[in-house]
C-alpha cells in the first residue's frame, strides 16, 4: 500500500506502507519530521497529521485516548489524527496525510 504524505513545506512524498505498521512509523522511517516523542504510545501528540477528507471515513474512529491526546496537539482540525494510531492495511492504499505544524 502507498501513503501519500505532504510535509510542512507542501512537498508530496509517496511512501511504501507496511501492513500492521503505524503510519507514524512509515513517516518517521522516511525521514519526515514527525517527532513521535513517545514512540507510538498515544502519549505525546507529536505525530499529528491531517487526513484527507476522502480517507477520513475509511479510518476507524478515534479512540477516547486519541481524542484526549489531541487536546495537547497544536492547530487541531476536524480531520486531525495521531499517525501512531493509524494502522497500515490494504484498504488504505493511497491514503493522503499532511504533517501538522510543529
Question: Of 12-20, 39-47, 51-59, 83-91, which segment contacts other proteins by CB under 8 A?
Answer: 39-47
Q: Are 36 and 84 in contact (CB under 8 A)?
A: yes
**Residue 74 C-beta: closest distance to other proteins, Å:** 5
Q: Are 96 and 2 in contact (CB under 8 A)?
A: no
> How many alpha carbons fall within 13 Å on the CB side of residue 19?
3
Q: Does 45 bind other proteins (CB under 8 A)?
A: yes
Q: Does 14 bind other proteins (CB under 8 A)?
A: no
**Residue 72 C-beta: closest distance to other proteins, Å:** 4
Residues at the interface with other proteins (CB under 8 A): 35, 37-39, 41, 43-46, 67-77, 101-102
Amino acid at each position: 500500500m502507498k501513503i501519500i504524505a505532504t510535509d510542512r513545506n507542501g512537498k508530496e512524498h509517496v511512501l511504501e506502507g507496511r501492513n500492521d505498521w503505524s503510519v507514524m512509523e512509515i513517516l518517521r522511517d522516511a525521514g519526515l519530521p514527525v517527532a513521535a516523542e513517545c514512540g507510538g504510545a498515544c502519549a505525546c501528540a507529536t505525530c499529528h497529521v491531517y487526513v484527507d477528507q476522502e480517507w477520513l471515513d475509511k479510518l476507524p474512529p478515534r479512540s477516547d485516548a486519541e481524542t484526549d491526546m489531541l487536546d495537547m496537539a497544536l492547530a487541531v482540525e476536524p480531520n486531525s489524527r495521531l499517525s501512531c494510531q493509524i494502522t497500515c492495511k490494504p484498504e488504505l492504499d493511497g491514503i493522503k496525510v499532511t504533517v501538522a505544524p510543529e
